[in-house]
Amino acid sequence: MKKSLALVVATATALALAACSSADPETPAADGTVAVVTSTNVYGDIAEQVGRDLVDVTAIIDDPSADPHSYEASAQTQLALSKAALVVENGGGYDDFVDTMLDAIDNKPVVVNAVEVSGKDTGGDLNEHVWYDFPTVRTLAGTIADELSSIDAANASTYAANAAAFQAKVDDLIAGTDAIKAEHAGAGVAITEPVPLYLLENAGLVNKTPEEFSEAIEEETDVPPAALQDTIALFSSHAVSALVYNSQTTGTETERVLSAAKDAGVPVVPVTETLPEGTDYVSWMTANIDAVRSALTS
């Protein structure tokens, strides 16, 4: 079971307004740009990298200090979606509020679902944080370029060129995780939530955290005492080389784990679900890769 973003249903007036003000998804905005709405600023930045000055991007969740799982959608969100020609969502239960609000719009925009693009939802236990999987992000940029080209055919070559330039930078990120894998394949790590798992797994690292612990933290339920003790023991026994934790969701159990790691001298690497202020996707993920590499070599 995946924890999805909270939804506050917009008022009937807002829904009616949205329904009658839907943009034609086949037509760029009046100023010549294509209106794009993304569920988070992560996808907002990726869309901007592909569209540049040809798009007008609105990221619904853009506060770098906010916990996306606690987001409350509003009438303003509904209005933004109603005017979009293209919507980029995560999917996989992460941002269900987007689909719920799109259901109230008569003239549907084009929707790109990152989890669907990833091909990772095979009916099993999905880790929905696919923006930490660089091959997925590479493919996603191409998909966004294709959809923008369908909406705004006159600028198709520009979208393709922008996507290729961004994909080249993502290739550098893939090379970064490959380098970690070459040096540290099989090294154990601990997490608080599955947020960074794709990056860690692609780097050849092994998650040693009891599933009951990380699942409870993600679902905001009580951590079984045995799972908490087993997690803490990872540090005192030096079974892991680093703790990589989601700094946007902390609580009593995560604080105990952080303290245990620090007391044992195990390096701690904070990560986030949304873009930190003043960064773009590539610089953010480059910093994450560098931090993991540094922790493993310290």
Specify the pLDDT at position 18. 38
Q: How far, CA to CA in Å, does 251 sit from each of 58, 150, 220, 268?
A: 31, 45, 9, 16
Q: Give pLDDT tens digits for 150-184.
A: 999 999 999 999 999 999 999 999 999 999 999 99
Specify the pLDDT at position 69. 65
Residue 267 phi/psi, 5-degree rounding, is: -60, 145
Specify the pLDDT at position 20. 37
H helix count then E strand count, the chain: 12, 8
> Do 19 and 152 belong together in one domain?
yes
**In-domain check, residue 118:** yes
> Do 20 and 167 belong together in one domain?
yes
Strand partners, 270: 245
Given 143, 173, 203, which residue is the final one in a domain? 173
Q: Which amino acid is at 241?
A: S
CA distance 37 to 81: 6
Dihedral of CA atoms 231, 234, 236, 238 in degrees, nearest 10, equals -160
> Do 86 and 200 belong together in one domain?
no
Token pair for residue 146?
């294709």
Residue 243 phi/psi, 5-degree rounding, is: -110, 120
Specify the pLDDT at position 27. 46
Q: Which structural domain, as residue segments, surrounds residue 293?
A: 185-297
Residue 43 is part of a domain; what is its CATH number? 3.40.50.1980
Specify the pLDDT at position 72. 76
If one counts the domains in the chain, the total is: 2
Task: List the pLDDT tens digit at each of the 298 positions of the chain.
Answer: 344 444 433 333 344 333 333 344 444 555 789 999 999 999 999 999 999 999 999 999 988 766 666 677 788 899 999 999 999 999 999 999 999 999 999 889 999 999 999 999 988 889 999 999 999 999 999 999 999 999 999 999 999 999 999 999 999 999 999 999 999 999 999 999 999 999 999 999 999 999 999 999 988 899 999 999 999 999 999 999 999 999 988 789 999 999 999 999 999 999 999 999 999 999 999 999 999 999 999 8
